[in-house]
Structure 1
Amino acid sequence: MNRRTRNALFQIHTWMGLHLSLFFAFMFLTGTLLVAGFELESIGRPAIWTTTAKEDRTASFGMIYEGVKETHPQSRPFVIVKRSTPWFVDQTFGDTGWGEAVTFWTDPVTGDVVEETRNLGFRNILRDLHDTLLTEKRILFVLISATSVLLLGQIISGLVTYRRFWKGFFRWPNRSNGLRSWTGSAHRLTAVWSAPVVILIAVTSFYFMLGGLGMNGTTPEFPPSSPRDSALPSGFGSQMIDTAEARAHAALPGFDPVVMLIPGSKADSLVFIGHVEGIAEFRGMSSVVLDPATLEVLGVLTPDGLGGLAKWKDLMNMLHFGTWGGAFSMALWI
């Protein structure tokens, strides 16, 4: 590349950096806090932290559901999540029975409720601030995600204008040439060090932009549940849930469900979501759908059944939020 082209790229890089620096600083700050948003929000809630080993987290979905209903008979659980992070107890989203949304935290061994929290917390507010500047408007989400193209342009133009940047990977800035020279060298060095992570963030943000535009890929549809008079059939409880989970295991060998979706309307099905032995986690989760009244298996969905961009959703989330390697990758992303 000739000097004229390189100088033009440098001018573009400098101009964009000057005018977008505050915006990207805001996005990176809120994004960094979001990586550990759940942990930051839970600092003052010692009851929901645990040191229970994974093999000892034996509470079934039925036990968790029963634990919530025993503590709050009028409550309506909707989603039960066995937390993937080993330092938190299990989590159930629902409402109090009179419309107020609430989260029930349950012991991963006994299924007993250990804490209750409201859903609108620090993490949700921070996420809305990061995604849409608290407006919750899709168009703004798309526009913010579209700046990933500008971010990627900054990275590429910076690497092109920094000739032989790979040789400067371990070239520590020299202070002998003054502060301005030192800060410029420090800027280039830290940019080269962080380039792999920032490229991943830019690429995944572009993927989210496509989702905001409606390009979500395809997922198969399953037969509807049998007609019933209420959202939950008569006798729905721990025994029925455990039977349903057993049938989900039989329908999909090697299945390890970590999420259960409880019907909230007469048309909803009972769904178990989790990973399958032999299928890499980055490929996504699998689902088993059952009729809540008859417990008949209506369908099984594995990552192979997804089409288009839907195939990449879990991988994009893991890379964007740095959860691909647990606590290590989260610390690295921060």
Structure 2
Amino acid sequence: MGKANAKKGRSLWWVVHSWIGLKLSIFLTFILATGTLAVFAHEIDWLVTPAMRVSPRTEPVASWGALAYAVTRAAPEARLQTLYAPIDPWFAAEAWVSHGKGAPERVYVDPWTAEVTGQHGWANVHRFLRQVHRHLMLPTKIGIPLVSSLALLLTVSLISGIVTYKKWWRGFFRAPRAGDTRRLTGDLHRLIGVWSLWFVALIALTGVWYLVETLGGSAPVPEMPRTAANAPPVGARLDSLVALARRSDQQLDIREIRFTQEHGVIFLGQSSAWLVRDRANGVAVDPVTQRVIARLDGRDLTIHQRISEMADPLHFGTFGGLWTKVIWFLFGAALTAMAVTGTMIYATRLAKAAPIDESGWQLAWRGMGIWAYIGIALIFVALALTPGAIGGAS
């Protein structure tokens, strides 16, 4: 009786696993694929945008003040908003400047010579992949819950996959069997699945957290003291503020400078706290009085705030630089392949059992029912909204 109940339970879990994998395969594959590409979105932009490419040098880099001065000379009518350090040595520094209306403009500067290498509009590959993966170009109150809800289904799929794969821990080194398409795809699906268990769990957990945040559970953001509006400091004035920020936090590796009209100049980056976004560590300076008005230390975060700051680095694998991004990309590609092979398994099974002369893919499409049209419709809506969405404000 116990064995019968266990078999019945596994059968039920298999139905759930198959339903998620088939009905939502188109939409799930799209979200997984765009998320995987988003890991290397900056690198893709680097490939297609010549102004982002520089040649690494051995001499010291130019100062932040020199970079900011070069930006203001290249865009004298615009207001400097943000200045970013290069992502890697072969990347240019990037600045965002505002013309008062519409989206910011990007200005790229060689970090060694402080020469502007080019200017670019707001829309780019990173912007497209970020927004289409995060909320399908829809209003965030609609799009983020819609996409993040897939994390719940991914969690159920993870559990059901473990339950239905008997003695799954033996599958890590079980080579796929050739000779039969259905058997081969099934073996590949299980092999990728067991090696990706940790990754699926990680993506599911961070996805659930994004859902919690958008439903009202976001962590409180630290408040900054207000200062009088002032023109963004550049050149030697900015360099003196950089020195002040570094004296305030000697461990701070400045990765971003925000020139705000209400809270002074804010220096953000990585410091003593590990596995947090750059915004978790920072020093705010009043450019008029040249005094530190606020300190941000990732070690002082509450548990709630720490979870919030950890989510992005863990979801996209950016916390360890290029090497962790490579790992995240490979496992993201594997997860996308699992969504495809799951549909292939269903298609080949149907084709083998079908009494009529109809391909397995036709039968699989029919099996998806209305969910296939919903998935395709969401993708087309996202693509249709792209021109306006990625050209809008940040």
- TM-score, normalised to structure 1, is 0.89
Q: Judging changes above 3 Å, is the alpha-carbon distance between structure 1 residues 39 and 220 closer, same or farther for their aligned structure 2 residues?
A: closer
Bigger CA drift: 28-37 or 303-312? 303-312
- CA distance in 2: counterparts of 1:115 and 1:297, whole angstroms: 33
1:218 aligns to what?
220
1:34 aligns to what?
38
2:131 aligns to what?
128
- Structure 2 segments unaligned to the other structure (5+ residues): 330-394
Q: Deviation per CA, 1:96-116, whole angstroms, max 9, x where unpaired?
A: 577662111111112221111
Q: Judging changes above 3 Å, is the alpha-carbon distance between structure 1 residues 104 and 135 closer, same or farther for their aligned structure 2 residues?
A: same
2:273 aligns to what?
279
1:102 aligns to what?
105
Bigger CA drift: 314-323 or 76-85? 314-323
Matched, 1:289 2:288: no
2:323 aligns to what?
328
Question: Is the Cα contact below 8 Å between 1:57 and 1:108 reproduced in 2?
Answer: no
Matched, 1:195 2:197: yes
Q: Judging by fraction of residues, say which structure has more helix.
A: 2
TM-superposed CA distance for 1:216, in Å, is 2.1
Q: Judging changes above 3 Å, is the alpha-carbon distance between structure 1 residues 254 and 325 closer, same or farther for their aligned structure 2 residues?
A: closer
Question: Is the Cα contact below 8 Å between 1:219 and 1:306 reproduced in 2?
Answer: no
TM-superposed CA distance for 1:283, in Å, is 7.3
Matched, 1:319 2:314: yes
Structure with the bigger RCO (C-alpha within 8 Å, sep 6+) is: 2
SS at match of 1:213: helix
- CA distance in 2: counterparts of 1:273 and 1:51, whole angstroms: 25
TM-superposed CA distance for 1:281, in Å, is 4.4
Question: Is the Cα contact below 8 Å between 1:216 and 1:308 reproduced in 2?
Answer: no
Q: Deviation per CA, 1:157-193, whole angstroms, max 9, x where unpaired?
A: 10111011111111012235x3322222221112112
Match runs of 1:138-287 below 5 Å: 138-175=141-178, 178-225=180-227, 227=228, 230-232=229-231, 236-263=233-260, 265=261, 267-276=262-271, 278-282=272-276, 285-287=280-282
- CA distance in 2: counterparts of 1:110 and 1:318, whole angstroms: 31
- CA distance in 1: counterparts of 2:324 and 2:314, whole angstroms: 9
Q: Deviation per CA, 1:281-324, whole angstroms, max 9, x where unpaired?
A: 44764111111211111111101232343212342212211223
1:71 aligns to what?
74
SS at match of 2:133: helix
- CA distance in 2: counterparts of 1:162 and 1:100, whole angstroms: 50
TM-superposed CA distance for 1:123, in Å, is 2.4
Question: Is the Cα contact below 8 Å between 2:277 and 2:313 reproduced in 1?
Answer: no
SS at match of 1:274: strand
SS at match of 1:189: helix
Question: Is the Cα contact below 8 Å between 1:57 and 1:109 reproduced in 2?
Answer: yes
- CA distance in 2: counterparts of 1:133 and 1:219, whole angstroms: 25
Match runs of 1:300-319 below 5 Å: 300-319=295-314
Percent identity, aligned pairs only, is 29
- Structure 1 segments unaligned to the other structure (5+ residues): none
Question: Is the Cα contact below 8 Å between 1:200 and 1:320 reproduced in 2?
Answer: yes
Question: Is the Cα contact below 8 Å between 1:128 and 1:136 reproduced in 2?
Answer: no
- CA distance in 2: counterparts of 1:3 and 1:210, whole angstroms: 35
TM-superposed CA distance for 1:214, in Å, is 2.9
- TM-score, normalised to structure 2, is 0.76
Question: Is the Cα contact below 8 Å between 2:254 and 2:268 reproduced in 1?
Answer: yes
SS at match of 2:48: coil
Question: Is the Cα contact below 8 Å between 2:61 and 2:112 reproduced in 1?
Answer: yes
SS at match of 1:300: strand
TM-superposed CA distance for 1:325, in Å, is 2.7
AA aligned to 1:280 is: W
Question: Is the Cα contact below 8 Å between 2:219 and 2:308 reproduced in 1?
Answer: no
- CA distance in 2: counterparts of 1:320 and 1:79, whole angstroms: 24
TM-superposed CA distance for 1:136, in Å, is 2.7
- CA distance in 1: counterparts of 2:7 and 2:15, whole angstroms: 12
RMSD: 2.2
Q: Judging changes above 3 Å, is the alpha-carbon distance between structure 1 residues 286 and 100 closer, same or farther for their aligned structure 2 residues?
A: closer
Which of 85, 88, 91 aligns to 1:88? It is: 91
AA aligned to 2:222 is: P
Q: Judging changes above 3 Å, is the alpha-carbon distance between structure 1 residues 10 and 290 closer, same or farther for their aligned structure 2 residues?
A: same
Q: Aligned residues, how many?
A: 324
- CA distance in 1: counterparts of 2:277 and 2:40, whole angstroms: 23
AA aligned to 1:102 is: E
